[in-house]
């Protein structure tokens, strides 16, 4: 089971599109976190791994600060696996208009619940397909790591590889109550993210 794009028939507004990935602008000596405020009043906080995977964190920070995630939903939510969001189309096939390469670190693993990682379509023409979509795990899913159990980089052309870029540090109870949803059969949108607020220390 992987975290690829899917589709459904829910009507949604047109999303923002960008011509290219954001320029690198974060200070990796600063500690970044993201506060997800849900439309239903729930809230959870994610510690971002700016030192381990700076390009991926920079991308997320840019999109969040630009309001890209405001009003998006958790469109694919599977019990005991993960909750996937970050697609303004709500279908699982949308994105920001650009893609960027995978970014892995041996200390950034899908080793527990609460891990936030990039959803993608695998390698496309030999290149990474990361954009705006992400998922949060409900359990350890180390088969999604970019490194194998021996600390060697996996062949992402044949294996599912996803870039971990943070972990939920508070509000996991809110994550656990995100409504389960199969985007292929659902007729209503998933739970709505009101906004994502980036904080730095």
Q: If you ran DSSP here, which 8-state letter would residue 104 be given?
A: -
Nearest one of 132, 137, 48, 39 to 86, comparing CA atoms:
132
Nearest one of 168, 164, 190 to 178, comparing CA atoms:
190
Instruction: Decide if 32 is catalytic.
Output: no
Q: From the candidates 120, 130, 133, 181, which is the catalytic residue?
A: 120
Residues near 77 by beta carbon (within 8 Å), at least 6 away in sequence: 83, 84, 178, 179, 180, 181, 190, 191
Instruction: Decide if 109 is catalytic.
Output: no
Instruction: Decide if 100 is catalytic.
Output: no
Q: From the candidates 58, 84, 130, 133, which is the catalytic residue?
A: 84
CA distance to 18, 39, 105, 195, per residue, from 164 (Å): 23, 25, 8, 21
Q: From the candidates 75, 135, 165, 181, which is the catalytic residue?
A: 135
Instruction: Decide if 120 is catalytic.
Output: yes
Instruction: Decide if 52 is catalytic.
Output: no
Q: Are 124 and 177 in contact (CB under 8 A)?
A: no
Q: From the candidates 48, 74, 76, 134, which is the catalytic residue?
A: 76
Buried b (16+ CB within 10 A) or exposed e, 93-116: bbbbeebbebbbbeebbbeebbbb
Instruction: Decide if 105 is catalytic.
Output: no
Instruction: Decide if 133 is catalytic.
Output: no
Q: From the candidates 8, 144, 165, 181, which is the catalytic residue?
A: 144
Q: Which residues are catalytic?
A: 76, 81, 84, 120, 135, 144, 162
């Amino acid at each position: 089971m992987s975290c690829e794009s899917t589709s459904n028939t829910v009507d949604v507004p047109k999303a923002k599109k960008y011509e290219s990935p954001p320029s690198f602008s974060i200070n990796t000596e600063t500690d970044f976190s993201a506060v997800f405020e849900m439309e239903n009043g729930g809230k959870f906080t994610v510690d971002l791994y700016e030192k381990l995977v700076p390009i991926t964190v920079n991308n997320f920070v840019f999109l969040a600060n630009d309001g890209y995630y405001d009003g998006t939903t958790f469109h694919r939510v599977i019990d005991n696996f993960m909750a996937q969001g970050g697609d303004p189309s709500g279908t699982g096939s949308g994105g920001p208009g650009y893609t960027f390469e995978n970014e892995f670190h041996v200390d950034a693993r899908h080793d527990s619940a609460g891990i936030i990682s990039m959803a993608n379509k695998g390698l496309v023409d030999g290149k990474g397909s990361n954009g705006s979509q992400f998922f949060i795990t409900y359990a350890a899913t180390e088969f999604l790591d970019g490194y194998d159990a021996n600390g060697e980089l996996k062949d992402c052309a044949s294996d599912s590889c996803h870039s971990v870029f943070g972990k939920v540090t508070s509000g996991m109870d809110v994550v656990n109550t995100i409504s389960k949803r199969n985007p292929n059969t659902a007729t209503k949108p998933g739970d709505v993210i009101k906004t994502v607020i980036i904080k730095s220390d």
